[in-house]
Amino acid sequence: MNAEQNIEPESRVRYGTEKVDDLDIFYREAGDPKSNKPALVLLHGFPSSSHQYREVLAALGDEYYLIAPDYPGYGNSSFPSVDEYEYTFDNVAKTMDKFLIQRGLKEYVLMIQDFGAPVGFRIALDHPEKVKGFVVMNGNAYEEGIAPEGWGPVLDYWKGKTPELEKTIKENVFTLEGMKWQYTHGTRKPESINPDNWVLDYYNISRPGGHEMALKMFYDYQNNLKLYPKWQSYLRENQPPMLLVWGKNDAFFPVPGAEGYKRDIKDIDYNILDTGHFALEEEAPFIIRKMRGFMKTKVK
């Protein structure tokens, strides 16, 4: 008998699009959205998409409802030009918030990684009553969590845009090797990381207008740092339960960023892992096991 025959149909990963304003927002989901099961919203990082959560979706749909959207310009969602869509974290968060409202989600746990943190915290500030907890995976909210050596020319770009800096960023970040490095740097076994990750990301960012879109987001990231005090205040005041799983060898968001959460959250399951920026690539079994336990014991 095929093993998949034993899996309930609603537990399997499914794919769809939701029209949000004039955009087709692609999503992956697993579990029954009409049940009373707790919901998890999975917000992806750069340069990835909902593809980064494929193993989480496949594993947890038996007990929970999970949904992972692609931001505009990422993955399989609509890719408007920079003249048609404002590529800022404020605007992306508004689009994602509308998406969740249209999908009928009233309460959920946010899983945030990299770009997912500034998107998720904006949603949480607007709807604190909806967010029942966080799974934080190298999703930063503290100034000490920004590694100057990892951000390099982007920090200079914040001080002033120049063609030379844009060229440097494109040559170091947007190449196939640059994409691969983000997935393999800091991992214990780089040869075990699925190359589909960087091949897909390189394809997406190499589309006409892809570099311009990414540069807009990089430049706007500086505005996230200005909001860190508000996000920290939200955490202290609301005390959402938190599962933190953080790759300690992340070149962009070092461990001090993870430590910051311990100052503000009382109920935190704190885990520092010997891996890189995309911790799921090496630590999916551990993270999924921790997520199942967290949802069972901490999320009401």
Residues taking part in catalysis = 277
Paired tokens of 127: 């709807």
Q: How far is residue 38's CA from residue 62's CA, in Å, rounded to a whole number?
A: 11
Q: How far is residue 135's CA from residue 74's CA, in Å, rounded to a whole number?
A: 22
Whether 48 and 278 have beta carbons less than 8 Å apart is answered as yes
CA distances in angstroms from 38 to 33, 110, 111, 189, 245, listed in the order given: 9, 11, 13, 34, 20
Whether 64 and 295 have beta carbons less than 8 Å apart is answered as yes
Q: How far is residue 57's CA from residue 136's CA, in Å, rounded to a whole number?
A: 16
Whether 21 and 28 have beta carbons less than 8 Å apart is answered as no
Residue (of 97, 60, 59, 15) closest to 299 by Cα position: 60
